[in-house]
Amino acid sequence: MDTKIILVYCLCDDYLKSINHREDRQVRLSDAEVMTIALVAALEFGGNFAQSLRFLSSHGYLSYRISRSRYSRRLHRIRDHFLVLFLHLGEVWKALDEEGVYLLDTFPIAVCDNIRISRCRIYQDEAFRGYQASKKRFFYGLKIHLMVTRDGAPVEFFLTPGSTGDVTGLEHFDFDLPFDSLIIGDKAYNNYEIEDLLAQVGLDLEPVRKKNSTRPAEPALRFLQSFYRKAVETAGSMIERLLPKSIHATSQAGFELKVVLFVLASSINHIPLP
């Protein structure tokens, strides 16, 4: 755990230095330490910032003990840096990926149990009620749309209300991938128009075909699809293992920030430790 904490701090500190990030001279806790507290919370404490702050302070990792309220304000001021750091790591995983195979999937993040929907203050709209076909259950919250490498390292993601369909989410991916990349998804990603548009820029989108598809897949491609699908399911499982039973948050911004931290933490877990 010590090695991972040092790795997270060095990663955050190097990133902030690379963008010439400046802090107020009066701060006694650096922004790199603020980011480290949040990421260690996602990696080790189920997203509980207070536990992470208490642990790092008591073990001498922090230069200054900050109050919880002050920490929350500092954290939200730099929240955009977590997304940028995720994108930088994604570029690293794409550069290291020699096969050029990327996988698409979604999975739900529930904000509360169905019985508590009427009392939920974070989200209050029917658009956040979604259906998880694999488990044959409804949930209320967000949906993560995820793109990963063959090894399961996330390179792109975004959040939508739970009712957003996978094929609708397909339109919002950036597809900033190397030329001649192969993109594999399940049956929900069948969209011939997007496939044709991607083909024009040298990207091959090959979702699992439905029985009535006018573009049936070759047997060799069907084998690759079934083989590679396990990687994206593993990536989703790695993020779900970091998630607590329920994510504690008091606002939409706080809830979504914690989800971002869990996805970024999953990406950091792919960095080999010495």
Q: How confident is the model at residue 230 (pLDDT cuts 50, 70, 90)?
A: low
What 3-state class would DSSP assign to 80? helix
Report the pLDDT value the prediction gives residue 256, as an integer from 0 to 100: 94
Do the strands 101-112 and 137-149 form a parallel or antiparallel pair, or are they unpaired?
Answer: antiparallel
Residue position matching structure tokens 């902030």: 16
Token digits of residue 28: 């006694």
Compute CA distances 40 → 43, 46, 258, whole Å: 5, 9, 12
The CATH 3.30.420.10 domain(s) of the chain lie at 91-268
Tell me the pTM. 0.91
Count Cβ atoms below 10 Å from residue 100 Cβ, excluding itself: 17
Cα torsion angle, 122, 164, 85, 2, sign = positive
Report the pLDDT value the prediction gives residue 83, as an integer from 0 to 100: 96
Q: Report the interhelical angle of 31-44 vs 80-96 (nearest 10°).
A: 70
Q: Outline where DSSP puts E strands in 189-258.
A: 204-207
The pLDDT tens digits of the residues spanning 170-221 come to: 999 999 999 999 998 888 888 899 999 999 999 999 888 877 777 777 777 7
Homologous superfamily of the 91-268 domain (CATH):
Ribonuclease H-like superfamily/Ribonuclease H (3.30.420.10)
Q: How confident is the model at residue 241 (pLDDT cuts 50, 70, 90)?
A: confident
